[in-house]
Structure 1
Amino acid sequence: MDGPDDPKQSTADMTAFVQNLLQQMQARFQTMSESIVTKIDEMGARINELEQSINDLRTEMGAEASPSPLAPGKTDEGKQGEDGSS
């Protein structure tokens, strides 16, 4: 009687093994997915910080470059002199 029971037990063992393996794979996949999403969120936050830093630098450069409208005025005066001499 052990002969006929062995294939059934073997099949049951294999089924249990495969189910366990699939559950482990699913758990690992879920962990990896959560890790990837977390890293993407962190990267998004860093990108936002970089964008803010760039905007802050642009604002600072704009504040420092505020005298530069005088420079185009001088350029315009230079062009007017060139226009008068032409």
Structure 2
Amino acid sequence: MRSTAMSEGDGGAAAELKEVMETTMRRLRDRFEMTSGQLESNIDQMGRRIKDLEKNVAELMSQAGMEASSDVSESV
């Protein structure tokens, strides 16, 4: 009888542990997805800013009478 009671108690603890782990994993997944989305958004924004910067540099070079190369980093 005693071993049955311990087994039932162990089963309850295992079920509780499983629930805690599933909740933790769900929270981690949600945070990961949120962080991934924010990172992707920031990278896209950075890409747009770099393109704008390259465009502005090319315009300034044109105004200064310099020939803009296809790779702005060579002349900077």
TM-score in terms of structure 2 length: 0.75
**Residue identity in the other structure for 1:27:** D
Pairing partner for 1:19 from 22, 36, 42: 22
Gaps of 5+ in 1: 64-86
* Distance in 1 between residues matched to 2:7 and 2:43, nearest whole Å: 54
1:10 partnered with 2:49? no
Structure 2: gaps spanning 5 or more residues = 67-76
What residue number does 2:41 align with? 38
Larger Rg: 1
Q: CA RMSD in A?
A: 1.6
For the residue of structure 2 that corresponds to 1:62, the secondary structure is: coil
The residue type paired with residue 35 of structure 1 is Q
Using the size of structure 1 for normalisation, the TM-score is 0.67
Give the counterpart of 2:54 among 51, 66, 82.
51
> What is the number of residues matched between the two proteins?
63
Structure with greater proportional helix content = 1
User: In structure 1, how many angstroms separate the alpha carbons of the residues matched to 2:16 and 2:43?
Assistant: 40
Alpha-carbon shift at residue 5 of structure 1 (Å)? 1.7
Deviation at 1:48, TM superposition (A): 0.5
Cα deviation code 1:42-72 (max 9, x no counterpart): 1001001100100110111118xxxxxxxxx
